[in-house]
Amino acid sequence: MSTVLFPQHVIARKRDGFELGSEEIEAFARGATDGSWADYQLSALLMAIYLRGMTPGETVLLTGAMLRSGTVADLSSIKARKADKHSTGGVGDKVSLHVAPMVAACGVAVPMISGRGLGHTGGTLDKLESIPGFRVGISIEAYRRQVAEIGLCLIGQTGELAPADRKLYSLRDVTATVECIPLICASILSKKLASGIDCLVLDVKYGRGAFMREKARARELAVALTTVANKMGTPTRAVLTSMDEPLGHAVGNAVEVAESVACLKGAGARDLIEVTFAIGGQMLLLAGAAASAAEARAKLEASISSGAALGKFREMVRAQGGDPAVADNVSLLPRASIVREVPSPSGGYVVDVDPMGVALAALHLGAGRAKAESPVDPAVGIDRLAKVGDRVEAGAPLYRIHANSEAALGEANELMAKAIEVGPSRRAPAPLVDEIIG
């Protein structure tokens, strides 16, 4: 073995600003997978990458090395085009729950590997697990079989897929190296491309409730992600969307599942439907299931009006061990012991809903986790949340809290009171869908 492949030599080269080669990057990913690099050596290179950056070529190499650190699902026997989506995360972002069955109902297979929530962002897996009996931890073979049979499967990252990412992400989280675009690209894409997809749509959010607050920084990430994925042979587009207020009317787990079911029945919130059609439309376009944005939207609308999308959701829930009756009766979802509507202290218009304030309220209720190992209460959260631009009367409900203790209810209500502002003049909600990249 060449001395340059010893961890300390690879670390020193990146520390000094050199571009790493394929053998050095493969050694790094292998060391994260088999333990041949110590945690302090992995952490040192992560920090060097954070400080020195990576070229697009290095990022492609790192993504590929992390992708090959485990199993790459082979879905080639499935004739339908296979499309996935990924969101960089936000408050109330439950789009995956309903856009996946909508797209599947249009004839495009959707094999989706999702994550859990951490901090102020919710996780698709936590929301799905609020459905009684729903299993997100299934084998790659069961995943492949389900996609072949019903065209839809939503699972968590298994031990077989991109194990290097699991190790490196845990170290990034504790070494202040999470916000590094090359590392974000490699982390997201190594998991997504390992799932056996043909094309990918990314929802890259910016604003007060997003992982990246500045639009320019979010756009930089979107360009990097699409560039790397396309260079690796997977057609990819990114949709820049604003996250300056929570998406939809619900923030939590079971309450968000209920809102997604409402979307599948044609009763979704205006902003939630706008983002859903933007993401789902791009999935159909990339998969070749629509020739124009107008045709894509028409197909998605038809999947709702015909009941086909709700039927796909019901099939997915049944296939993954959940109670499919939730598609017809959301009261079967977990319910909190205290459900209380909170009235508006004054009449007027909603002029601001701070997404971070709402997220913190949900976190105090137990709907999210401050640490990766923290438990989540599926029943708690906030729903019937007023939106910017809504007219409200004094004493009329402004939002509803689902809590399992009076103490948590009180804490959440204090945070919510600071998060929502009612004023005398109407402020129009800002546009949500900004730009399509790639």
Residues identified as active-site: 86, 165, 172, 187, 191
Return the H-helix or E-strand segment holding 193: helix 181-193
Return d(Cα 251, Cα 266) in angstroms, integer.
19
* Residues across the chain: 438
Q: Kind of pairing, strands 338-343 and 391-392?
A: unpaired
- C-alpha angle with apex 38: 35 to 42, nearest 5 degrees? 100
145 exposure class (CB count in 10 Å sphere: 0-12, 13-18, 19+): middle
Return d(Cα 234, Cα 286) in angstroms, integer.
10
Return d(Cα 368, Cα 163) in angstroms, integer.
25
Count of beta carbons in the 10 Å neighbourhood of residue 141? 9
Return the H-helix or E-strand segment holding 154: strand 152-156
Are the C-beta atoms of 227 and 56 separated by less than 8 Å? yes
State in Å, rounded, how far the first CA of the chain is from the last one: 40
Q: Kind of pairing, strands 433-437 and 381-383?
A: unpaired
Look up residue 358 and give its two tokens: 């709402």
Are the C-beta atoms of 26 and 65 separated by less than 8 Å? yes
Return d(Cα 140, Cα 245) in angstroms, integer.
37
Return the sign of the alpha-carbon dihedral for residues 373, 374, 379, 383.
negative
Return d(Cα 97, Cα 127) in angstroms, integer.
8
Q: What are phi and psi of 402, to 5 degrees?
A: -110, 115
| Matching residue, tokens 């690099």 | 37
Radius of gyration of the CA atoms of the chain, in A: 22
Count of beta carbons in the 10 Å neighbourhood of residue 161? 26
DSSP 379-412: T-EEES---TT-EE-TTSEEEEEEESSHHHHHHH
Are the C-beta atoms of 82 and 200 separated by less than 8 Å? no
> Measuring CA to CA, how many Å separate 216 from each of 120, 183, 224?
21, 18, 12
